[in-house]
Amino acid sequence: MKSLPLHALVAASLVLTPALWAQDKPAAAPTATPLATPFPLPKQEPDVAAEKYSAKTGQPDAGFLAAHEKYVKIAKEGKGKLLFLGDSITAGWAGRGKEVWAKSFSQWDPVNFGIGGDRTQHVLWRIENGELADSFKPKVCVLMIGTNNVGGDSAEAIAKGVTKIVDTIRTKTPDTKILLLAVFPRGEKASPNPARQKLAEVNKIISKLNDDKHVFYMDIGEKFLQPDGTLPKDIMPDSLHPNDKGYQIWADAITPKLTELMK
């Protein structure tokens, strides 16, 4: 599947509205250089794979490509039995969540392929362009993606993108079990919250990908919420990215299932 031509992306950018700018900013990661602000893609069906482009230069985003090349190298070396794949929420395991990561997953030789600002299109492009090299056979892939599509795509289109990613993982590494996570809730209040409502629709659709054989769906979103649906600042300070407490909640929620799947 081919990426969109550069000239088409640049032309489309001239008519983008602010709502289409990337929703997801990289989580603080003291040990890593923050990625450049990604260039937003034009509205499109999320099964169309695409690179990320710089708003300043119109060229492929250097930070995105550097992270991608790093992950391709890891994949070619065949490193990692447990793969985390996603956007900046996943990338944050290397920042705010690094201590939780070390104590929760180190026994499984984990690798983190998260990039801030990624939409379903970007993850699909990445795994179609080397991040699932033939030599890379993780036993389990923890996948969560889609929150950055909220501003420009329908729930159905976002779910279609997630489905395409799952299908591609299954094709490239059929023995890998996929722990597919519902997209986490975002925004402080439960209502009115159109973004959270859209993601609930996405999660309802992708939950049907569960087959208890190759794909295992989990929705742990409520574990981050208060009884009234509020997303606490002491768990997700910006109402999107977990802090260390939030990452601990995440780890505690999935560790029993990972223990089962990694056997």
20: left (phi over 0), alpha (psi -120 to 50) or beta: alpha
Which residue in the block uniquely carries the two structure tokens 């799952």?
A: 166
> Which of left, alpha, beta for 156 (phi over 0: left; psi -120 to 50: alpha)?
alpha
Q: Distance between CA 189 and CA 107 in Å, rounded?
A: 37
φ/ψ of 48, rounded to 5, equals: -90, 110
Tokens of 192: 């009115």
In which residue are the tokens 């986490």 written? 184
N-to-C CA span, the chain = 34
The span from the CA of 64 to the CA of 141, in Å, is 21
Is 239 annotated in the active site? no
- Quick check: 146 and 158 in contact, CB under 8 A? yes
Active-site entry in 88, 104, 118, 153: 88
Active-site residue, 88 included? yes
The secondary structure element, H or E, covering residue 180 is strand 177-181
Active-site residue, selected from the candidate residues 3, 54, 207, 238? 238
Burial of 215 (0-12, 13-18, 19+ CB in 10 A): buried
Task: Determine the 3-state secondary structure of 39 from DSSP.
Answer: strand
Residues with catalytic function = 88, 238, 241
